[in-house]
Amino acid sequence: MRRSLLQSVLLYACVVLVALFTAGPLLWLVTMSISAPTDLTEVPLRWIPSEVDFSRYQTLLDLNDGSGERFLSALRNSILTAGGATLLALLLAVPAAYSFSRRNASMVLLFAFLATIMMPPITYILPLYSTFSSLGMLNKTLTLIVVYTAMLLPFATWLMKSNIDVLPIEVEQAAFMEGASTAYTIREVVLPLALPAIAATAMLSFLVAWDEFFYALIFTNDLSAKTLPVAIADFSAGRVTDYGVIATVGVMATLPPAILAICFQKFIVSGLVAGSVKG
């Protein structure tokens, strides 16, 4: 189909608009992080930095620097918390999803699970805080892992269930017919087929845990457990707010999930089921 010139112009204008809308904030974040401090406070705003300044990155990656220490411990805590919670949630969600999908586990239960994430977190904060407080578990990475796992589990189970639902059931039946146990079938047959779904679920779960702010804010109070979102907030709460530093931390904080997404991308492809059933 051939487009007229006007149609082409309109089409590309829309494309540029969408691209700017989605990539704009990120670009501005990167620009801020390498601008000179004076550029950021100028009125009117300087869109193109007068000089390129990477010194903030250097500071943040230096353990001996105050901000560097804050950032790097937060990064470590975030990776441990989000990674641990994702791993734990997946370990529990996959068998749970299989039961819901193939073994007629009650759907009421699944909806009850889902109902728990529909409640605003504020309702859980008080009881959770007093419980963890009495157990002496406040300000610990493990505490956040437990809370995040509980938060991720319903969502991960539901996502995995809908993905297992569409796998060809005959393949599992064939495995049972050949004498395989349920555990063996899940490990050798279902998991390889569900790999793209698992990768997608892991990715999304990790992002949710990575970005979580509220629980982390309440349950942690120093370098030993604070995660990145809380650390970023801390950077802006000092006497003088350095927007450049906040932007730099923001850019650095997006890197781990971005790297993870690139690594998982090759798994998140369809067509792994090809060849199992029909022609």
Residue closer to other proteins (CB basis): 136 or 275: 275
Q: Rounded to the nearest whole angstrom, what is the least distance from the CB of residue 176 to other proteins in the complex?
A: 5
Structure tokens at 205: 């779960």
Q: Rounded to the nearest whole angstrom, what is the least distance from the CB of residue 235 to other proteins in the complex?
A: 47
d(CA 253, CA 265): 20
Q: Rounded to the nearest whole angstrom, what is the least distance from the CB of residue 13 to other proteins in the complex?
A: 43
Structure tokens at 145: 């892992």
Residue closer to other proteins (CB basis): 40 or 272: 272
Peptide bond into 44 cis (omega under 30): yes
Residue closer to other proteins (CB basis): 198 or 232: 198
Residue closer to other proteins (CB basis): 3 or 187: 187
Among 108, 119, 183, 274, binds other proteins (CB under 8 A): 274
Q: Rounded to the nearest whole angstrom, what is the least distance from the CB of residue 164 to other proteins in the complex?
A: 15
The reply to whether 268 sits near other proteins by the rule CB under 8 A is no
The contacts found for 49-56 with CB under 8 angstroms, 24 or more apart, are 53/244, 56/244, 56/245, 56/248
**Tokens 């950077």 sit at which residue?**
235
Q: Rounded to the nearest whole angstrom, what is the least distance from the CB of residue 63 to other proteins in the complex?
A: 44
Supply the DSSP string of 31-92, one letter for each residue.
HHHTS-HHHHH-SS--SS-SS---HHHHHHT-TTSHHHHHHHHHHHHHHHHHHHHHHHHHHH
Nearest to 81 by CA among 199, 223, 225, 218: 225
How many residues of this chain interact with other proteins, rule: CB under 8 A?
24
d(CA 71, CA 59): 10
Residue closer to other proteins (CB basis): 44 or 179: 179
Please report, as residue ranges, which positions from 151 to 190 form the binding site for other proteins (by CB under 8 A): 168, 170-171, 173-180, 184, 188-189
Among 24, 25, 37, 192, binds other proteins (CB under 8 A): 192
SS3 label, residue 26 = helix
Q: What does DSSP assign to residue 277?
A: S
Residue closer to other proteins (CB basis): 89 or 94: 94
Binding site for other proteins (CB under 8 A): 168, 170-171, 173-180, 184, 188-189, 192-193, 272-279
